[in-house]
Each structure stands twice: as C-alpha cells, then as structure tokens.
Structure 1
Amino acid sequence: MAKYLISFPSAAMIIPDGDLEAVGRDAHAVIEEAKAVGVYVFAGGIDEAVPPVLVSADGTFAAGGYPWAPPLNGGFTVLDLPSREEAVAWAARIAKACRCD
C-alpha cells in the first residue's frame, strides 16, 4: 500500500448558489466511506486567510512562499491505497462530491 495525496485548488470548486450544504454533505460522505473501508489517513483544507511563510533551514523566515510556486489553497486528502488506479478512482469521487470540474 502507498499513500496518495489527492488535492485541488479552491478555484476548481464550482458551487452553484444554494448548493454549499449539499457539497459539504457529499464530501463528508466520501470521507466517511474512506474511513469505513480503512483507507483514510487524513484530510483538510488550507486556511487561505493565513498568509504563507517561507522558512529556511537555518530558521530564518520571510513572508510569502516560493516565488516560482503557485499559491497554496484548496483542500487535500491522503489515502492509503494499493494502486494508482484506486487513487484515481477515489480522486474522481472526491472531485465529484466537491464539485470540481
């Protein structure tokens, strides 16, 4: 088994007006199923209100991230799965639940 990171940026979520409650319910249902079958490791979302900090190996830090990297936002899930094919299948289920195109 290997751990797979499934992530998506905030902009990928297209939530029609009035559908936010259904998105939450659907997303939680997929996570609960992953827990029930024993593949769930952890999941969460990046708090976009907290600005990133770039920390060097010597402990110094500066506001912002790597200048060449895209901004960090959105959500992520880590699952312990036997194959890449299963990871892709779970990713599709999560994308559908979260209304990611």
Structure 2
Amino acid sequence: MPRYLISFNYGDMNVPDDELPAVGEAARAVVRQASEAGVLVFAGGVGEPQDTRVVAPNGQVRVGPRSQRAEFIGGLTIVEVAGPAEALAWGAKIAAACRCDQEVREFMPGAQVCGE
C-alpha cells in the first residue's frame, strides 16, 4: 500500500494560547484513531527552525536552517492507506484537529523502509 506524508508548515497552526491544549488533544485523538485503524506509520511535531542542524557533504555540521526560506515543516504524519482518497480523508481529519491546512503527498514508488 502507498504511504503518504501529511504535513503543515511551521507557523500555520496559528491558534490563541488558551486554545492550544484543546488543539493538542484533538491532534492526539486523530493520531490515536489512525493508530487504531492500522494506518499510522509515524506522527510528530518538528522543533524550531533556528535549532536545525545542517550536515554538509563533507560532514561539517552547523546550527540554523540552510537557507532563509520562508517555510519549514511544523509537524507531520505518515499514513499507509489504500490510495489518495483515504489519504485526503486523514488529511482532512488532521486539518480540522490542528485548525490549519495540511499538505498530502504520496511517497515516491520504491521508497525504502527499514526492516522491509
């Protein structure tokens, strides 16, 4: 079955501080639903862009994003589902829970998974 990345950009989940606990619980509830449905591969938020570590081809490491781009992933979910309609349905559930748009993208055919 194909795997899909469902993600949102850092800063897109723009909700008042007093609503963050409710948004967090709603997001965890959708992740539990995906797990119980057997489609969840992975889900999680991503740290602050300024804390990014960049590894160069020569092995050198530096702190901070590699460019001044405007968008960074803020959180992601990976699901393994029958096809795009099901992936979009999970994306819609996550969008409602997180109160922000979600990108839904299929992993390229032949993507490798450890242990497979």
* Distance (whole Å) between structure 2 residues aligned to residue 100 and residue 20 of structure 1: 13
RMSD after superposition:
2.1
Residue of structure 2 equivalent to 1:54:
54
Partner AA of 1:32 in structure 2: R
Map 1:8-87; keep pairs closer than 5 Å. 8-48=8-48, 51-67=51-67, 69-87=69-87
**How far 1:53 moved relative to its partner?**
2.5
Displacement of 1:38: 0.3
Gaps of 5+ in 2: 102-116
Mapped contact 1:42–1:79 kept (Cα < 8 A): yes
Quote the residue 2:4 is aligned against.
4
Partner of 2:113: none
Alpha-carbon separation, structure 1, partners of 2:73 and 2:48: 6
Report % sequence identity: 43
> 1:34 is paired with a residue of what secondary structure?
helix
Deviations 1:73-92 (A, max 9, x none): 41111111111121111111
Shift of 1:59: 1.1
Whole-Å separation in 2 of the counterparts to 1:70 and 1:17: 23
Match of 2:3, SS state, is strand
Does the C-alpha gap of structure 1 residues 3 and 15 become closer, same or farther in structure 2, counting only changes over 3 Å?
same
Runs of 5+ in structure 1 lacking a partner? none
SS at match of 2:94: helix
CA deviations 1:15-55 (Å, max 9, x no partner) are 24522221111111100000001000111111117522221
Aligned partner letter, 1:6: I
